[in-house]
Amino acid sequence: QTIYLTDYRQPDYLIDETHLTFELFEDHALVHSRLLVRLNDGRADGTLCRDGTRHSTTEGRVPSRPVGVGAPPLVLHGQELELVSVAINDQAIDSSDYQVDEHSLTLHPQTADFELAITTRIQPQNNTALEGLYKSGGMFCTQCEAEGFRKITYYLDRPDVMSRFTTTVMADRGAYPILLSNGNLIASGEHEGGRHWATWEDPFPKPSYLFALVAGDLCLIQDSYTTLSGRKIDLRIYVEPENREQCGHAMDSLKRSMRWDEEVYGREYDLDIFMIVAVNDFNMGAMENKGLNIFNSSCVLAHPDTATDMAFQRVESVVAHEYFHNWSGNRVTCRDWFQLSLKEGFTVFRDAEFSADMNSRTVKRIEDVTFLRANQFAEDAGPMAHPVRPESYMEISNFYTLTIYEKGAEVVRMLHTLLGPERFRKGTDLYFERHDGQAVTCDDFVAALEDANGVDFTQFKRWYSQAGTPVLEVEGRFDASSSTYELRCRQSCPPTPGQAEKLPFVIPLRMALLNERGEELPLRMGGSELGTETVLAVTEAEQVFVFEGVTQEPLPSLLRGFSAPVKLVYPFSRDDRVFLAMHDPDGFNRWEAAQSLAVDVLQGLVEIHQAGRPLLLDQRLLEVYRRVLSDTELDPAVAAEILRLPSEAYLIELAEVADVDAIHHVRETVRRELATALAEPMWERFESLGSTAEPWSADAASMARRSLRNTLLGYLMLTESSAAMSACVRQFVEASNMTDRQAALVALVNSSDEQQKHAALQEFAQRWADYPLVMDQWFSIQASSPLPGGLQRVQELMKHPAFNIRNPNKVRSVIGAFANNNLVNFHAVDGAGYRFLADRVIELNRLNPQIASRLITPLTRWRKFDPVRQELMKGELQRILEADDLSPDVYEVASKSLA
Ligand code: ARG
Ligand code: ZN
């Protein structure tokens, strides 16, 4: 069943107050809800009755008006619920007065305001979908976004119904000493039989997707934060006792996020308490439930002995992301799920800027752009392509996508670029002020930016409605006689499902012109001085920009900082790219030039390889790398990024028809050749960057050194020299931290030294057997190894006692890592990788549809491959489609992929 944005209607009823009582037992849970329901009077004139959500009990309810004939039925969402009882205004009603089916409970109210009491019984202990109320290890927890609340009780489970929640949790005191929900603790007490209870009250109206509950035996890490206005906030992180030592970084990240949102957006925290709970079984990264964020433990726990620098940065950014949702998501929420990017795109933009401010801005941007181009561009080019604001969906869980999150963030970034930071801030101030406490749309967001600044973003909004990655072709034309330089721009966008034709986008093109020494020229256009860097707004299908007073042919530095999510095409020669890689004053574009040079070289070699000719490496790439190795002025983290060749996934995305084997062979050959040719400077730089045994430090400079050192270690190991092997083994043994130890393990696992490899893997598994997140790394390194026999290794890994298909982190680190990072093995031409993945999808479809559906992604890319693989991939999608009891999640992705 497909749901359309154009079918949006306001709710017929609103729920002013929601009072919940949970009785938790080992073999079931009882959920008693008492709802103050009110007919939505505002619905007739098309305006949402928003202030209605703020009515107090008495205002909203007395007197009870009869609704009269023609009152709409009240249709509550509910799934997998056992209905125990229903009462209206304390009068039990019997089953002839309501209808229940698999998805709903329908009532026929006689008055416009009433109190509805419902009791349902659910089975959290059997909930393997990890949606609604479920058990993770010994703890009860919830995940309600997007539509999980309806698996807890019958409700108007839609984001435009905002209600004030009071929640009482009752459970055995011994097993569940900690009982949490949203808001403030207002009462607690004892019960007979060793049970106890706690009541939480959340003063802020919220949609049901932000509801949360936790009950477990958790230890508390506590701190506090004083807001700019002087309010003291109680900060709490709850984790399982063995993880007590791993919370410092999350706590520190939280405090820095709170400060940053005050300084950059003027947003203060609003409750007296802010809680984070870490759980081991979680479908996603984390969830922004009001006052009670629930996190995948992988996004909370970080200790240098067990977590890599990458994990530290992920914790920092996810903690910030969820915290920032308190304003961009909770105080101002989404009217419907088509508007998901309203909160996700904006919040990803906010967390990216936070990370950029905390660490290296250039490196953060390089990482994000790399990720977007390899993954979101592929999504935009595939069968699941959809606009940032989709027009239809079958299962909303499938739309927590790279397009909604990452491209959505790029759309907000473009608005920020077009307005500049001050005017953008004026716009967000107006947005938060105007819509506080409301459920709104992407149009409302843009309207606030427009109204605060007197601008018109009508055309810009095509970024919300048109899917696909635009192509921006640019050509430069220097005319000595008139001293002008023209940039001729042409934009287009390929068709996507349901959208054959696209209208021109507004593309902010940040650029500069460089002279032969790499210096930026002053820019003059139409008689005005634009400085040395400017943002051109490309708005037409074809458009020419003329710069005046240019007396020598310049080289353009284009799309600086990746100022728009487009594919830029400019006829740069390899020499141009070498020049830009060495001289562009903009760090991001220096990386971009080196990257595009490498892409060009690799693509050329793939063709040569396919023609059966020998591979000869363009020495210019080598020279760029040599320069980077000796450039001690350059941030080592940026150097590491430049030295990393474009990924196989990105090369596949760029290809018309991708030859995975050729791409893998060529890339590995070039890596080995670079390592051999540059072994000397690589060793020199490697050794100059300090030793792995020195004490660990979390500062950006130390992380940058580790990043470059380990990139170099990876190259040096390709030379198969005994010096490299012993340096690697030494690093594995002596490392003072997991970043270095893991980098050594990766290099060993991908080496041909079977003995060292097995010794290291065994010793690692023994030492970290009790650390599930470290074991995830151990799994993922092996599942990602491109050496022959990948599928067999993965099948062995699945038999390991630490593997558990019910734990999403394990699924991601074994099955996901294989299908997404081990392309040469996954795409084995016998189709065994595809078959394996489809089998796992079918198995997971019953256990956890959300995880099953996400796992299909690599198969949805079938159009990129040769006819033989295409047939094999489609065959597996077809087999998935024919499986019994297909979830809507899996059905939607499999069927759309074949359509
Ligand atoms: N809102 C959460 C976040 O971005 C993610 C929730 C994902 N839920 C889902 N059903 N896919 O932080
Ligand atoms: Zn989010």
Give the Cα separation of 569 and 472 in Å (integer).
6
- What is residue 62's predicted lDDT score, i.e. its pLDDT? 43
837 or 94: which carries more pLDDT confidence?
837
Distances (CA, A) of 837 to 723, 781, 834: 39, 18, 5
Find the 48 Cα to ligand 1 centroid distance in Å: 25
Collect all residues with Cβ–Cβ distance below 8 Å to 835 and sequence separation of at least 6.
876
pTM score > 0.90 for this model?
yes
Find the 561 Cα to ligand 2 centroid distance in Å: 23
Angle between helix 790-797 and 772-784 (nearest 10): 160
CB atoms within 10 A of CB 705: 19
User: Residue 285: helix, strand or coil by DSSP?
Assistant: coil
Find the 343 Cα to ligand 2 centroid distance in Å: 7
The residue whose C-alpha atom lies closest to atom 1 belonging to ligand 1 is 287
The residue whose C-alpha atom lies closest to atom 11 belonging to ligand 1 is 397
Ligand nearest to C-alpha 350: 2
Residues paired with 34 in a beta bridge? 19, 117
DSSP state of 807: S
Give the Cα separation of 399 and 390 in Å (integer).
8
Lowest mean pLDDT among 44-58, 106-120, 325-339: 44-58
Find the 94 Cα to ligand 1 centroid distance in Å: 37
Regarding the beta carbon of 322 and ligand 1, being less than 6 Å apart is answered yes
pLDDT in tens, 601-616: 999 999 999 999 999 9
Regarding the beta carbon of 348 and ligand 1, being less than 6 Å apart is answered no
- What is residue 49's predicted lDDT score, i.e. its pLDDT? 39
Find the 100 Cα to ligand 1 centroid distance in Å: 29
CB atoms within 10 A of CB 269: 20
The residue whose C-alpha atom lies closest to atom 8 belonging to ligand 1 is 145
Do β-strands 524-525 and 528-529 pair in parallel, antiparallel, or remain unpaired?
antiparallel
Regarding the beta carbon of 299 and ligand 1, being less than 6 Å apart is answered no
Collect all residues with Cβ–Cβ distance below 8 Å to 231 and sequence separation of at least 6.
268, 269, 272
Regarding the beta carbon of 130 and ligand 1, being less than 6 Å apart is answered no
Pocket test for ligand 1, best of 131, 287, 321, 893 (most atoms within 8 A of CB): 287
56 has a pLDDT exceeding 70: no
Find the 333 Cα to ligand 2 centroid distance in Å: 12
pLDDT in tens, 752-800: 999 999 999 999 999 999 999 999 999 999 999 999 999 999 999 999 9
- What is residue 66's predicted lDDT score, i.e. its pLDDT? 72
DSSP state of 283: S
695 or 707: which carries more pLDDT confidence?
707
Is residue 823 within 8 A of residue 664, CB to CB? The reply is yes
Q: What are the φ and ψ backbone dihedral angles of 118, each rounded to 5 degrees?
A: -130, 135
Distances (CA, A) of 876 to 379, 395, 814, 842, 884: 19, 21, 20, 10, 15
Ligand nearest to C-alpha 299: 1
Ligand nearest to C-alpha 295: 1
The mean of the pLDDT values for the chain is 96
Distances (CA, A) of 225 to 231, 233, 255, 276, 345: 8, 5, 7, 14, 27
What's the ipTM? 0.98
pLDDT category of residue 692 using cuts at 50, 70 and 90: confident
Q: What are the φ and ψ backbone dihedral angles of 76, each rounded to 5 degrees?
A: -95, 140
- What is residue 51's predicted lDDT score, i.e. its pLDDT? 42
Regarding the beta carbon of 316 and ligand 1, being less than 6 Å apart is answered no
Find the 312 Cα to ligand 1 centroid distance in Å: 20
Regarding the beta carbon of 397 and ligand 1, being less than 6 Å apart is answered yes
Ligand nearest to C-alpha 849: 1
- What is residue 57's predicted lDDT score, i.e. its pLDDT? 34
Torsion region of 527: left, alpha or beta (phi above 0 gives left; psi -120 to 50 gives alpha): left
Q: Please list, residue by residue across 753-786, b when 16 or more beta carbons sit within 10 angstroms of its beta carbon and e when fewer do.
A: eeebbeebbeebeeebeebbbbbbbbbbbbbbbb
Ligand nearest to C-alpha 151: 1
Give the Cα separation of 361 and 635 in Å (integer).
11
Ligand nearest to C-alpha 348: 2
Lowest mean pLDDT among 301-305, 466-470, 694-698: 694-698
pLDDT in tens, 98-115: 999 999 999 999 999 999
Give the Cα separation of 876 and 873 in Å (integer).
5
Taking the CA of residue 365 as centre, how many other CA atoms within 13 Å lie in the half-sphere pointing to its CB? Answer: 21
Q: What is the mean pLDDT of residues 711-738?
A: 97
Regarding the beta carbon of 200 and ligand 1, being less than 6 Å apart is answered no
Question: Which atom of ligand 1 is found nearest the CA of 405?
Answer: 4
Is residue 645 within 8 A of residue 596, CB to CB? The reply is no
- What is residue 342's predicted lDDT score, i.e. its pLDDT? 99
Distances (CA, A) of 74 to 49, 62, 155: 17, 20, 10
Regarding the beta carbon of 889 and ligand 1, being less than 6 Å apart is answered no
Which helix (H) or strand (E) segment is 599 a member of? helix 587-610
Q: In this structure, what token pair is assigned to residue 710? A: 């380990």
Give the Cα separation of 620 and 345 in Å (integer).
39
CB atoms within 10 A of CB 580: 24
Task: Order across the sheet with 471-479: list the strands.
Answer: 542-548, 484-492, 471-479, 567-569
Pocket test for ligand 1, best of 134, 144, 149, 284 (most atoms within 8 A of CB): 284
Q: What is the mean pLDDT of residues 669-683?
A: 98
pLDDT in tens, 161-214: 999 999 999 999 999 999 999 999 999 999 999 999 999 999 999 999 999 999
Give the Cα separation of 93 and 84 in Å (integer).
11
Which helix (H) or strand (E) segment is 880 a member of? helix 867-881
Give the Cα separation of 859 and 371 in Å (integer).
19
Collect all residues with Cβ–Cβ distance below 8 Å to 146 and sequence separation of at least 6.
209, 337, 340, 396, 397, 400
Regarding the beta carbon of 395 and ligand 1, being less than 6 Å apart is answered no
Q: Is the peptide bond before 646 cis (omega within 30 degrees of 0)?
A: no
Find the 555 Cα to ligand 1 centroid distance in Å: 44
User: Residue 879: helix, strand or coil by DSSP?
Assistant: helix
- What is residue 67's predicted lDDT score, i.e. its pLDDT? 72
Regarding the beta carbon of 342 and ligand 1, being less than 6 Å apart is answered no
Regarding the beta carbon of 286 and ligand 1, being less than 6 Å apart is answered yes
Is residue 683 within 8 A of residue 728, CB to CB? The reply is no
Active site residues: 322
Do β-strands 439-440 and 333-334 pair in parallel, antiparallel, or remain unpaired?
parallel
Find the 346 Cα to ligand 2 centroid distance in Å: 9
Regarding the beta carbon of 507 and ligand 1, being less than 6 Å apart is answered no
Give the Cα separation of 816 and 851 in Å (integer).
10
Regarding the beta carbon of 146 and ligand 1, being less than 6 Å apart is answered yes
Pocket test for ligand 1, best of 134, 143, 145 (most atoms within 8 A of CB): 145
3-state class percentages of the chain: helix first, strand second, coil last, to nearest 5: 45, 20, 35
pLDDT in tens, 819-830: 999 999 999 999
Residue reference for tokens 């900082």: 561
572 has a pLDDT exceeding 90: yes
- What is residue 64's predicted lDDT score, i.e. its pLDDT? 62
Q: Is the peptide bond before 87 cis (omega within 30 degrees of 0)?
A: no
Question: Which atom of ligand 1 is found nearest the CA of 347?
Answer: 4
Give the Cα separation of 843 and 864 in Å (integer).
26
DSSP state of 458: T
Dihedral angle, C-alpha 388, 394, 396, 402, nearest 10 °? -40
Q: What are the φ and ψ backbone dihedral angles of 281, each rounded to 5 degrees?
A: -110, 105
Regarding the beta carbon of 775 and ligand 1, being less than 6 Å apart is answered no
Question: Which atom of ligand 1 is found nearest the CA of 148?
Answer: 10
Give the Cα separation of 92 and 84 in Å (integer).
11
The residue whose C-alpha atom lies closest to atom 2 belonging to ligand 1 is 287
Give the Cα separation of 773 and 366 in Å (integer).
26
Pocket test for ligand 1, best of 400, 404, 887 (most atoms within 8 A of CB): 400
Q: In this structure, what token pair is assigned to residue 868? A: 């033989």
Q: How many residues does the chain have?
A: 899
DSSP state of 155: B
Question: Which atom of ligand 1 is found nearest the CA of 147?
Answer: 10
Find the 795 Cα to ligand 1 centroid distance in Å: 30
59 has a pLDDT exceeding 60: no
Amino acid identity, residue 761? L
Find the 386 Cα to ligand 2 centroid distance in Å: 18
CB atoms within 10 A of CB 569: 12
- What is residue 712's predicted lDDT score, i.e. its pLDDT? 98
